[in-house]
Amino acid sequence: MNKWIVSLALVFWVNGWLAAETLKVRHDHNPWGKCEGELVLSQEGVEYRQDEDKHHRKWRWVDIQSIDRKSSSRFSILTYEDQRWLFGADRHFNFTLLPDQEPLSEETFQFISAHLGKPVTDRIAKRAQTDYQVAAKHLHTFGGCEGTLYFGPEWISYETDHAQDARTWKRDRDVDSVWSLNRYQLEIHVFEENKRSFDKTRRFRFQLKEPLNEDYYDELRRQLLHGR
């Protein structure tokens, strides 16, 4: 498609079509229980409408720290709300789309991300344009999971059968830096919610199954240093 048509469609879409999208959701309580309601996304923010009122919430975009897309039907919103019983830890709202609700579309997710303007967690690995790929093992504290890293001009993606570790990072939004000690090892440091919240970047350590292309690595590292 022509580049201009795409840009125009994008502007129209951000300003118009999704001015108010409503998702039918279940709010999964921690550690048990649930309530059902509607999540209304608009230019102003996100509102969770719920009959019993207890969990009715209205967040401006600035009141949301991050979103975690766990699958095409599950996601959580991290707020700044304190939870006293968890020593003031910020509160997550976990949502699951109801069965008669269409899966969360890519457009809707990008709409949310664009309005947040902050790093997000996206556990759906997608290969956009790929310049380089390498088979890898993601190292856990014990053991790891196997998959493939895909690198493109805008995105870095890790595809694996271990669904909770699959990721797509937008380079200028989520990735801080990359680091390699030797050609069979690569670390990707990302802005993702972790035990230290966002104070510290989260490190994804990979053991590479084939040698890292040093030219590609040098260029990627240089570009990330300059915020690209």
Q: Are 76 and 30 a contacting pair, CB within 8 Å?
A: no
Given candidates 14, 35, 98, 124, which one binds Zn ion under the rule CB under 5 A? 35
Q: With respect to Zn ion, which residue has the nearer C-beta, 209 or 228?
A: 209
Given candidates 92, 123, 138, 167, which one binds Zn ion under the rule CB under 5 A? 138
Alpha-carbon distance values, 4 to 7, 11, 74, 111, 203 (Å): 5, 11, 33, 19, 38
Determine how β-strand 57-60 pairs with β-strand 89-97.
unpaired
Q: Are 206 and 189 a contacting pair, CB within 8 Å?
A: no
Give the residue among 65, 69, 75, 121 at the shortest CA–CA distance from 96. 75
Binders of Zn ion among 53-72, rule CB under 5 A? Answer: 55
Q: With respect to Zn ion, which residue has the nearer C-beta, 55 or 91?
A: 55
Q: With respect to Zn ion, which residue has the nearer C-beta, 128 or 163?
A: 163
- Closest distance of CB 149 from Zn ion, Å: 12
Encoded one letter per residue, x for contact with Zn ion by CB under 5 A and - for no contact, window 150-179 reads ---------------x--------------
* Residue 187 touching Zn ion (CB under 5 A): no
Taking the C-alpha atoms of residue 185 and residue 69, their distance in angstroms, rounded to an integer, is 27
- Closest distance of CB 165 from Zn ion, Å: 3
Q: With respect to Zn ion, which residue has the nearer C-beta, 145 or 208?
A: 145
Q: With respect to Zn ion, which residue has the nearer C-beta, 165 or 187?
A: 165
* Residue 27 touching Zn ion (CB under 5 A): yes
Q: With respect to Zn ion, which residue has the nearer C-beta, 118 or 189?
A: 189
- Closest distance of CB 48 from Zn ion, Å: 8
Q: Which residue type, as a one-letter code, is found at position 103?
A: P
75 contact partners, CB below 8 Å, separation of at least 6? 67, 68, 69, 94, 95, 104
* Residue 208 touching Zn ion (CB under 5 A): no
- Closest distance of CB 215 from Zn ion, Å: 27
Degrees, nearest 5: CA angle 113-118-124? 50
- Closest distance of CB 139 from Zn ion, Å: 8
Q: What's phi and psi for 25, nearest 5 deg? A: -135, 160
Taking the C-alpha atoms of residue 97 and residue 99, their distance in angstroms, rounded to an integer, is 6
| Residues of the shown chain interacting with Zn ion in the complex, contacts defined by CB under 5 A | 27, 35, 55, 138, 145, 165
